[in-house]
Amino acid sequence: MGKHTLPMFFLALGVIVFLGLFFAISGHISWSKNGDCRDCHSGAKAKELGLDDVYAKVASLKYKHSVVEDEKCEQCHILKGFKTGRTWELASSELQREQIFFLKSLLWDRKYSVDLKIKDGAGKEVLVTNVQVKPSQISNIVDNDLKEPLIKDVFIEGIRQAVFLEATIGWETDKPSNSIVEYGLTPQYGEISVSEKIFANGHRITIAGLKPKKLYHYRVKSRDIFGNTGVSPDFVLDTSAQVGSRGNDAEIDTMRPQIKKVAFFKTHGTQDIFLKLSSDKPVKAYLTINEPAEIDKHGFGLVPARVSRIDACVKCHAQGISHPVGIRSNGPKTKIPAELPTIEGGVITCVTCHYPHGGNKKYFARLDFERDLCLACHTTGSFL
């Protein structure tokens, strides 16, 4: 082979592998011609799953949308193409032996992996990777104890001039809770600083942008995972002089920290997911939650309502020839009835006035265009 032949061979091979993967995925997410949508959305299976028998409804209509007749369900409903999963991070700011992290926005039937790193006060680290969790499989359920956290030992750790004048306030609670400081130049406060996704017994909040030589009122709050909230009395912070941070007289521990337990749990009556971490010494913890890009029965998932009810339509139908879409509906002179559905925020879509799959009226209209439709939404005088 010539000197350029081998690189070109591997380039061609790479292209072939890529195209093979692409068409394999594309083939996986094009179901309707194979009848896969019917597996759940027609006949006895639809009834068993509590779904509408879409195919039976469409068969009974006088007019049918061409996309529906061709059974191209994915054109309006399915996310297609390559997709990467979400990744987000949580980190504790204080050294703790026990801490609870609120894992917000996990999908109920999706499997996640969690990478966990702990670091002690001397900087020694321990890393645990690929801890698996699927929210729907978590059996550990915790009941609300109906007790508010007991707040104690509120103190000012330091007042210092950084980029802005700032102060750090600390306190303890008798059970893991989040950290909130309300503060201001009057007893009504007016400002707030919150650390709400991490629950622990030790708390530190730094408030910045303070004015020098002023007396600030403040109080601290701590809310447990159930929402039970403890509130401290009012305290006063004087910014006339800087205050150094509390010293740490603890002996230097040369032993590497150890994770004693990692446990996932949810609270009774909710789908809120938490991770509880226990260690043999106080540590800071750093979590990375990874959501894989899974291909399931809906490919990479169902498209958002705005996409399926506006964007999919305007691929073929020009905008501007009918009623505006993508705008909010209710106002002083308009009120949208329940039989004309909008999406979140009261936004009008093409499906507000038209049945998406077909209908028994011209243009698949939900109401008579010549008589009922306008007056259903626009009150008397709103056209003037």
Assign residue 207 the CATH number of its domain.
Answer: 2.60.40.10
368 and 239 both lie in a single domain? no
Q: b/e for 77-110, b at 16 or more Cβ within 10 A?
A: bbeeeeeeeeeeebebebbbbbbbbbbeebeeeb
280 pLDDT tier (thresholds 50, 70, 90): very high
Count, in order, helices (H) and strands (E) of the chain.
10, 15
pLDDT above 60 (res 248): no
221 and 311 both lie in a single domain? no
Write the pLDDT tens digit of every residue in 317-348: 766 556 777 776 666 667 778 788 888 767 88
264 and 308 both lie in a single domain? no
CA distance 148 to 169: 20
Domain count, the chain: 2
Residue type, 345: G
352 and 226 both lie in a single domain? no
Domain boundary among 243, 262, 292: 292
Nearest CA to 281 out of 68, 12, 99 is that of 99
Domain boundary among 259, 292, 325: 292
For residue 382, the enclosing domain spans 304-384
pLDDT score for 30: 44
181 pLDDT tier (thresholds 50, 70, 90): very high
131 and 230 both lie in a single domain? yes
256 assigned to some structural domain: yes
288 and 308 both lie in a single domain? no
Query: pTM for the whole thing?
Result: 0.57
234 and 311 both lie in a single domain? no
What's CA 340's distance to the chain center, in Å? 29
What tokens appear for 81 in the block?
A: 């193409």
185 and 93 both lie in a single domain? yes
40 assigned to some structural domain: no
139 and 278 both lie in a single domain? yes
147 pLDDT tier (thresholds 50, 70, 90): very high
331 and 205 both lie in a single domain? no
Domain boundary among 242, 264, 292: 292
Of 53-57, 78-82, 196-200, the poorest mean pLDDT is in 78-82
